[in-house]
Structure 1
Amino acid sequence: MAVLPADTDYLHYDFRRPTTLAREQSRALELAFETFGRQWGTQLTAKTRVRAQVVFEAVAIRTYDDYTRSLPPTTVMLLIGLEASASGARGVLQFPAPGGLAWISRMLGGTESGADGTTAPLPERGYTPVEQAIVRRLLEDTVDDLRYSFGAQLPGTVVFDSIQHNSQFAQAAAPADLMIIATFRVTVGDRCDTATVALPADAILPALVAPPAGDDANGDGIRSQITTVPVQLAVQLTPLPVTAGRVISLAVGDVIRLPHASHKPLDVVVDGVPVARASAGASGSRRACVVTDTEEIAR
């Protein structure tokens, strides 16, 4: 066994708060976020009147503190109230401030180019009250799209809460709270920005791991269908393995000694698999057998 040096830095892992997603959880989240990206892109196209595309890139689970540390100090964070969060944590829709200003300009009929045809860099600053009102109008349907995309995986109400510009002071959740972080590439016209969506894990993961409603009923239906499938049932003696040469040389009058003792029960076989034992008998004018043991026989 390898021994780590004494000066090695160890990372503490809390098994009660896992920081990885199971494959089934990741796939379910990817499908939901991909749907949300398409819906959001459609909304931006309709409201900015320029071709927009929102592409889902990745999903991960991280603490809220780690998430905010990865963001620039000045950004746009739309806080989203979630009834399903037991901890009271809120969701976040985040995008760069200059990107939002470019969307506002497009929405009001402007462009990103000046009179001389050059593109001036947009400032990294907080929004004015007027700009905040326009952003609300621009993204008010996006919150509904988020609720629609997750369906039963995001129970309860989802509402637009407030807008924050400082990632270090936006108190959407406690620093140690786990968040589901999705990354998107947002392209509006010629401009491309990176946006993120953060949702409290305690509001999402329980719905992902719980079995969907109706699973028991579906299982009963499958079992009822299986029990009505016809199968071939046979009662046979213990088989005797022989060579192909012996089979070819068989002639009328030959006697084949079987390894089945006269006192031994017969095998009840389904598709070549013994499932019970039985004794030979009769039922009126027909041969019959009486099942004496239903334990499956291992060969």
Structure 2
Amino acid sequence: MEDIPESVTAGAMPDEAVERMAEAMVRDHDLASQERLVRRPMPTLELVNERLQRHMDSGLFQFARRTPEITIEPIAVQRYSEFLATLPTPVSFNVVAMRPLRGSGLVVCDATLVSALVDALYGGAGTLQATIEGRDFSPTEQRVIQRLLALLCTEYAKAWKGIYPLELEFQRSESHARFVNIAAPAELVIATTLNIAFGELRGALRICMPWAVLDPVRDMLYGAQQADALAEDRRWVTQLTREIQAAEITLTAELARPELSVGELLAMKPGDFIPLERASRIVAAVDGTPVFACHYGTHNTRYALRIDECLRSDSAHWIGGSHVH
């Protein structure tokens, strides 16, 4: 057992040890450091927004049967009170759960966008803007908002696919900001704004997510290398698909399969014929995998196969455009 220095007693410690403990316990803290951290570029979230723009473009076309013009604004990092102050009136507030993260987000739909969707769904020319100020949304407009939210939740999950299993789940709708408390007024939020136009009518769809809710995945949001890797993976998959589709393969079709005994085979001599019973349906295969159901015949004086059916399946060994994500 080591000897205790004479300078250390039961009730006292060396001055140097006290100073070292004090330095370890006291740390400088900059209250603005978190805000500077949040305001850094988020390449992964930018990639998600690019995907969302593409998915919403096709989704809204299927929804309204009219081609939309969608532009997405740069990611905005601001305090929740500032976000609410920039909203026009009236708007539809919709609280959504952010699964599997703990917390809620907010989807804000402009009244002008609701009016544009109603006009598009009911065969309008895209020139008449309905007046919503001073009244609540009608049942028809509420129904359109619900369908738009369902579309957004579906496409947002697709935009995060392969990055993180983040999904939006609708919880409730509100008509006033004071009933929406997803964050404290001074808390930082991340806002994404999609500007959507149908002809001359246009409006905005905003997604607001508290930074505190996204904090568990913040390393993923700032991961530039991960975002670049995801983009590289898409290019690699596209190039590999093209190379595979351009590869040459051997297609084999078995016209008939005669059965002979060993004795019959040994008894054969030059000039004998082997009778063949040609099947009505011939299967063409590649390396033993059936791909076509065919009929055998001639075409331009040449023996040929006529393809009647493609024998494709949804199993993983098939490689094609519909199976590449």
TM-score normalised over the length of structure 1: 0.56
Task: Say whether residues 1:93 and 2:107 are aligned partners.
Answer: yes
Corresponding residue for residue 176 of structure 1: 186
Corresponding residue for residue 53 of structure 2: 37
Corresponding residue for residue 279 of structure 1: none
Corresponding residue for residue 69 of structure 1: 85
1:241-285 CA distance string (max 9 Å, x none): xxxxxxxxxxxxxxxxxxxxxxxxxxxxxxxxxxxxxxxxxxxxx
State the alpha-carbon separation in 1 of the partners of residues 78 and 98 from structure 2: 18
State the alpha-carbon separation in 2 of the partners of residues 156 and 38 from structure 1: 18
The 1:131/1:17 distance shift into structure 2, 3 A limit, reads same
SS at match of 1:58: coil
Give runs of aligned pairs for residues 148-159 of structure 1, distance below 5 A: 148-151=158-161, 154-155=164-165, 157-159=167-169
Across the aligned residues of Structure 1 and Structure 2, the Cα RMSD in angstroms comes to: 2.9
1:55-105 CA distance string (max 9 Å, x none): 11210212222211111242122221113444x3x2222232132122023
Give runs of aligned pairs for residues 195-234 of structure 1, distance below 5 A: 195-210=205-220
CA contact (8 A) 1:20 1:60 kept: no
The 1:21/1:151 distance shift into structure 2, 3 A limit, reads farther
User: Amino acid of the residue matched to residue 42 of structure 1?
Assistant: S
Corresponding residue for residue 4 of structure 1: none
Corresponding residue for residue 161 of structure 1: 171
Measured after TM superposition, the shift of residue 181 of structure 1 is 0.8
CA contact (8 A) 1:154 1:203 kept: no
User: Amino acid of the residue matched to residue 152 of structure 2?
Assistant: T
Measured after TM superposition, the shift of residue 31 of structure 1 is 1.3
Corresponding residue for residue 53 of structure 1: 69
CA contact (8 A) 1:180 1:200 kept: yes
Corresponding residue for residue 15 of structure 1: 33
Task: Say whether residues 1:192 and 2:202 are aligned partners.
Answer: yes
State the alpha-carbon separation in 2 of the partners of residues 131 and 161 from structure 1: 18
Measured after TM superposition, the shift of residue 197 of structure 1 is 1.5
Give runs of aligned pairs for residues 259-278 of structure 1, distance below 5 A: none
Measured after TM superposition, the shift of residue 18 of structure 1 is 4.3
Measured after TM superposition, the shift of residue 19 of structure 1 is 6.6
The percentage of counterpart residues that share the same residue type is 20
State the alpha-carbon separation in 1 of the partners of residues 151 and 141 from structure 2: 17
The 1:136/1:194 distance shift into structure 2, 3 A limit, reads closer
The 1:137/1:193 distance shift into structure 2, 3 A limit, reads closer
Task: Say whether residues 1:107 and 2:121 are aligned partners.
Answer: yes
Give runs of aligned pairs for residues 278-297 of structure 1, distance below 5 A: none
The 1:79/1:111 distance shift into structure 2, 3 A limit, reads farther
Corresponding residue for residue 128 of structure 1: 138
The 1:167/1:54 distance shift into structure 2, 3 A limit, reads farther
The 1:198/1:97 distance shift into structure 2, 3 A limit, reads same
2:151 is matched with which residue: 136, 141, 160?
Answer: 141
CA contact (8 A) 1:77 1:163 kept: yes
CA contact (8 A) 1:81 1:161 kept: yes
Q: Which has the higher helix share?
A: 2
The 1:59/1:79 distance shift into structure 2, 3 A limit, reads same
User: Amino acid of the residue matched to residue 67 of structure 1?
Assistant: F
State the alpha-carbon separation in 2 of the partners of residues 65 and 85 from structure 1: 23
Measured after TM superposition, the shift of residue 205 of structure 1 is 4.5
User: Amino acid of the residue matched to residue 197 of structure 2?
Assistant: T
CA contact (8 A) 2:116 2:202 kept: no
Measured after TM superposition, the shift of residue 158 of structure 1 is 2.3
SS at match of 1:151: coil
SS at match of 2:63: helix
State the alpha-carbon separation in 2 of the partners of residues 154 and 207 from structure 1: 9
CA contact (8 A) 2:81 2:186 kept: yes
Corresponding residue for residue 277 of structure 1: none
Unaligned runs of 5+ in 1: 1-11, 114-118, 219-299
CA contact (8 A) 1:54 1:186 kept: yes
Measured after TM superposition, the shift of residue 121 of structure 1 is 4.7
1:27-78 CA distance string (max 9 Å, x none): 2211111111221122111111111122112102122222111112421222
Unaligned runs of 5+ in 2: 1-29, 230-325
